[in-house]
Amino acid sequence: MRNTIISLLFLAALSGAEAENVAEKAKYKRSEALNQIVYLEVPLRNFGSEKPELVQQYNDVKQKYSVALSFFFEDNFVQSYKLLLEVQDSLEKLYEQVSLFYIDRTNVVLQQSVKEATEIEFRYNRKAPFATQAIGKEREAGRRQLAGKSPENKEIEGRLYDPKDVHYLYDKKVMIDNIDYAYMRLGQAKLARQNAMDLEKWLEKGKPMPPTMKKSRIESYKAVIDLCRQAKVNGILVMQLNRIYDNYELQTRFKDNYFMKEKRLDPVFDFAIPDDFVKDASDSRNQIHEHSERIMVKSEDPALVTKEGRPTVSKAKRFDGGNSKQKNP
């Protein structure tokens, strides 16, 4: 009789320990899944229009997470943990597709950067007329005296170059370096993604991947997205250097505005960033581009500012109702 009682107590204690263990696992898996879901909010809000199928998968994941959370608050930890593992499986597949999209998108940004840098190489190589012209005090910062004229007369020719073009001689190396850094980070992103996809090779044949390994794979995909964002920052900087004077008028007119300084300029106001890549610039700051697009524009109907589906407003229209024009690259 005594042995029976001891056995029952032991089984009860074991059952309680197991229940507590599942509760703890559900608690940590819930926190883990929440962080992974929140991280994807910005990428899918920014690029969801290009990948609507990923947005649908994302919404399905959030719905499944809500159901798992309901079971969690009911103290049904076994069912909650089971659903949270399904959420993890769905997130793993979603992260894999998002990481691939980021690699493809980064390639587009960097190809444009290389194209612009190549045009500069052709235009300002050392054999080009502009690059071989001496620029110094003897030419009075771009002017020179006419041959045969006395210094007192000070008759001078027109400038031999556009002063705004001089920056290419100084910025070209920075532009090339940024392209180099960008492709290095893109290469790291591709390698991280491939390593994540190869994790299954380390499993025994027919053995399912454990939750810890799936978590590691998702973290690797997240690293891919972060590396692609860094690469796009470098690529977009090349475009900004190529248009280094495009914000001059803007910052002159709003010189007392703290947020119009070069280092604090929001991408939606930055004329040095081509419109095609403004969304990428916002995303690389982990900003939802749509929020910036809803900044009040002069003469716009306030009722339309927060309206869903509001069309994108070009940067030029954000000042003087469109009188300011973006300079062509």
pLDDT, one tens digit per residue, over 235-280 is: 999 999 888 888 888 778 877 777 777 777 888 888 889 989 999 9
Q: Where are the domains of the chain?
A: 2-99, 245-329
* Radius of gyration of the chain from its Cα atoms, rounded to whole angstroms: 29
Listed in sequence order, the residues at least 6 apart from 308 whose beta carbon sits closer than 8 Å to its beta carbon are none
CA gap 30, 38 in Å, rounded: 12
pLDDT, one tens digit per residue, over 196-210 is: 999 888 777 778 888
User: Which pTM does this prediction carry?
Assistant: 0.78
Q: Which of 39, 80, 87, 38 is nearest to 61 (CA)?
A: 87
What does the pLDDT average to over 40-45?
96
- Answer for the pair 269, 260: CB distance below 8 angstroms, yes or no: yes
Return the bridge partners of 145, or none: 156
Residue 147: its pLDDT value, please?
47
Amino acid at 81: Y
Listed in sequence order, the residues at least 6 apart from 322 whose beta carbon sits closer than 8 Å to its beta carbon are 314, 316
Q: Which of 27, 113, 41, 118 is nearest to 69 (CA)?
A: 27
- Answer for the pair 310, 235: CB distance below 8 angstroms, yes or no: no
CA gap 317, 62 in Å, rounded: 37
